[in-house]
Amino acid sequence: MKNKQDSLQFKFDISTFKLLGRELITDKITALVELVKNCYDANAQNVWITFENSLDFKKGKITIQDDGIGMNNNDIRNKWMVIGTNSKREKDFSPEPYNRKYVGEKGVGRFAVDKLGSKLVMTTKKADEKEAVILTIDWREYEQKNKIQSLFPFDSPKRILFTDIKNNYETKIISDQTNGTKLEMTFYNIEHIWTDIDIRRAEKELSRLLVPYGKLKYPFNIFIRKSENVDFEQIKVAALDKHATYSFHLDFDFENNTQQIAKFDKETGELKVIESKIENFGGIILDFHYYDENAKRRFKDTYKNYDIDGVKVYRDGVLTTPCAEVSDTINKQRDIFGLDKRRYGGFFDKVSSRDLIIIVQISKNNNPNIIDATNRQDFIENEESKFFKDFIVKQIFEFEKSLKSGKKKNATDTKTQLQDFRLDVKTVKDELKNIYQNIEKNQSADNLVLKPLLENFELQLNKISETTNKAYRQIEQLQKEEVRKDNLYLSLMSLQNYSLEISHMVSIVIGKIKRNAEYIRDNIEKTDKISNNIRFASNIFIEMEKLDKGVKFLLSYANSNKEAEEIDIKSMIEKLFYEHYKDIFQNEGITPIVDIRDTFVFIHNYKFFEDIFENLINNSIKALVGREDKIIKCSTNIEKNNFVIIFSDNGIGIAEDIKDRIFDMFFTTTLDQQGAGLGLYIVETRLASVKGNIELVKPELKQGASFKITIPLTK
């Protein structure tokens, strides 16, 4: 029997209008921006947006009108009404003489109208034609027929497809030479209303639609009217560098394959712009603006409708994704670069999106694989977009290092100036004492008049001296308090990693206890099962001991706020390797090696120091996943006046291109293993607080990673 062959074609269900409109474009601010972008692509110089009865979902309307090239009958029928078809795919630039780089390419932006209103009336006309085209689309009809569809089976002949619905269409002769497109969207749905807050948010996003640097050959002005009874107001663009506390600019050079990057110089304490190779995502231009509290106030006073709110990405001069990340509630704010997920920023000199405006310029030609997601909420996930995001965050990290260094320098300078002033006051007091002695020796009339004046001067000088000494002591106390807060918060954050491990262990142990107990319960009265019952009872005892250790491990955090105590470094390391991590090492097939050649006893907080080694061990365990002959080694010795610890594993090692980032907060290569990017940051920070340091050195186990920890033995 001969096989039958046929062909099939896709059909679109009636619900497609929702998938491409209100459900794909997730908020109305994004929808509005998308439609204004279409005006830009249409060579418009002016766009007028009008809100009428914006709080009335029965009478409300929003109108977007432009003076662009418009469309004719053929454009509407064969381009605008064909899903996914986009004339911008045929050419990269809009018609002469504007030659604007097209920003809309997916051919679904037109469905943003469904997010803004239940009914659309579009009137459009080209300059060289007499007829205007008027298209009416009532989304309520689509909605109604979509509900009816649920009554019919899928193979019913009564089933209506998305492409079966007819929309009203007419042409009308207009005598004047006006051109452009007008979209009138009537609400009919409470979801479409616009509050004053919504309109202000729209103004903010539209004010940053075009990159705020340079000037367009042909202007693109946006005017907004918040109700039909007021005049249009032009949306202004902010001068971002005018009030910034600190700014820097990065560019690229394709001919030399170089990309400028920001790099913190530890020697000078400055942030420098240096040349590097162009990354896999292509060259970018980046303008960085940081605002301290005073600068923020000045900025807000100048630009009422503009927010300091993080990273904005522009493709060929026009805002790309996300289009509307501002929210009055910070937890609802989109944060695709992860700046505000670093919740502990205030304690670690970390900046948030409320401290920065970063303008990033990319282009379709230079960065072809940084692609907007169709819903305009992120970039399509690929290797290039991942490295692109990492690059932006890396520049922020480098700035944060310089910011922290600057704060430390200012504190040190202030402390030095106070100390110098204290010495100056002491010198003056000594001189005053000499004057007193001379007065006592020479009791002349002039000296007797001078004496009460000097006594008053001495009184004032003593007050100044007392105030200066008090300020100096307060600075010292604040510095100690800052270190204490850092240690406390780092301990809390590292607890997250330990909690994951303990939770995993507890889950496994409880499962084993349950299975052993069930066996004993079912076989307790069977004499031939006595030996098995004894064995399973022993297993329960062993597992309960593991639970006990796990609970004690977590309870040790309760001791993190205790006073300093005597710590034997050898005892601490051996306890961790041979007791706390014994079961984990056995389960993972890891061989621990402890080689304590020299040890010393010191006074400090036990948990504070134990965290250092626990983080190193946890990192090594992750690095050894999938390896054979796994080893974690810790050795110590004394070099001159330093206690030196070498901590090594033979895991996957650390790639050359990330070696300078491993101590950065939240930088991790083990995200799939719940790595939080805190371990090495905690280690480096805690060692720094005791004047110690950690550095990556040549692997002593041929492969993997080795760290050298140096702690001064002098106080």
Confirm whether 621 is domain-assigned: yes
Asked if residue 119 and residue 59 are part of one domain, the reply reads: yes
Residue 38 one-letter amino acid: N
Confirm whether 647 is domain-assigned: yes
Using the structure block, give the residue that is written with the tokens 């800052």. 482
Asked if residue 651 and residue 533 are part of one domain, the reply reads: no
pLDDT score of 65: 95
Beta-bridge mates of residue 46: 221
Confirm whether 428 is domain-assigned: no
Q: Identify the domain boundary among 508, 530, 561.
A: 561
Asked if residue 72 and residue 204 are part of one domain, the reply reads: yes
Asked if residue 567 and residue 453 are part of one domain, the reply reads: no
At 549 the three-state DSSP class reads helix
Asked if residue 141 and residue 196 are part of one domain, the reply reads: yes
Using the structure block, give the residue that is written with the tokens 């020697």. 267
> Residue 331 is part of a domain; what is its CATH number?
3.30.230
Q: Compute the half-sphere exposure of residue 498: CA atoms within 13 Å on the CB side of its CA.
A: 26
pLDDT score of 484: 59
Whether 339 and 310 have beta carbons less than 8 Å apart is answered as yes
Mean per-residue pLDDT pooled into runs of 10, the chain (715 residues): 70 63 67 88 94 88 93 85 61 82 63 78 89 88 76 72 82 80 86 85 86 81 90 84 88 94 88 93 93 88 78 87 44 56 47 85 90 72 88 88 77 70 74 73 68 72 73 67 58 51 62 74 74 77 67 52 72 90 90 82 77 88 88 88 90 82 61 50 77 89 90 73
Asked if residue 251 and residue 226 are part of one domain, the reply reads: no
CA distance 57 to 136: 19
Query: What is the Cα gyration radius of the chain?
Result: 35
Helical segments of 96-163, H only: 113-116, 139-149
CA distance 536 to 545: 14
Residue 702 one-letter amino acid: K
Burial (CB < 10 A; 0-12, 13-18, 19+), residue 39, is buried
**Around Cβ 694, how many Cβ atoms within 10 Å?**
22
Residue 472: both structure tokens together:
């100096």
Q: Identify the domain boundary among 544, 561, 578.
A: 561
Asked if residue 698 and residue 639 are part of one domain, the reply reads: yes
Confirm whether 424 is domain-assigned: no
> Residue 120 is part of a domain; what is its CATH number?
3.30.565.10
Residue 646: both structure tokens together:
């070498």
Asked if residue 600 and residue 711 are part of one domain, the reply reads: yes
Residue 308: both structure tokens together:
């300091």
Q: How many domains does the chain have?
A: 4
Asked if residue 539 and residue 616 are part of one domain, the reply reads: no
CA distance 1 to 447: 134
Q: Tell me how many degrees the CA angle 517-523-529 measures, rounded to the nearest 5.
A: 110
Beta-bridge mates of residue 253: 258
Beta-bridge mates of residue 225: 50
Asked if residue 569 and residue 550 are part of one domain, the reply reads: no
- 709: Cβ contacts below 8 Å, ≥ 6 apart: 612, 644, 645, 646, 647, 687, 692, 693, 694
Confirm whether 449 is domain-assigned: yes
pLDDT score of 84: 62
Confirm whether 690 is domain-assigned: yes
At 114 the three-state DSSP class reads helix
Whether 663 and 680 have beta carbons less than 8 Å apart is answered as yes
Confirm whether 408 is domain-assigned: no
pLDDT score of 602: 74
Range of the domain at 289: 246-402
Q: Identify the domain boundary among 561, 591, 624.
A: 561
Using the structure block, give the residue that is written with the tokens 């009554």. 151
Whether 324 and 198 have beta carbons less than 8 Å apart is answered as no
Dihedral (CA of 81, 84, 85, 91) sign: positive
pLDDT score of 107: 52
At 185 the three-state DSSP class reads strand
Asked if residue 308 and residue 188 are part of one domain, the reply reads: no
Whether 457 and 432 have beta carbons less than 8 Å apart is answered as yes
CA distance 599 to 571: 9
Residue 468 vs residues 215, 408, 421: alpha-carbon distances, Å = 54, 20, 8
Residue 430 one-letter amino acid: D
Confirm whether 524 is domain-assigned: yes
Q: Please state at what angle helix 383-441 crosses helix 445-523, rounded to 10 degrees.
A: 150
Whether 320 and 314 have beta carbons less than 8 Å apart is answered as yes
Asked if residue 547 and residue 446 are part of one domain, the reply reads: yes
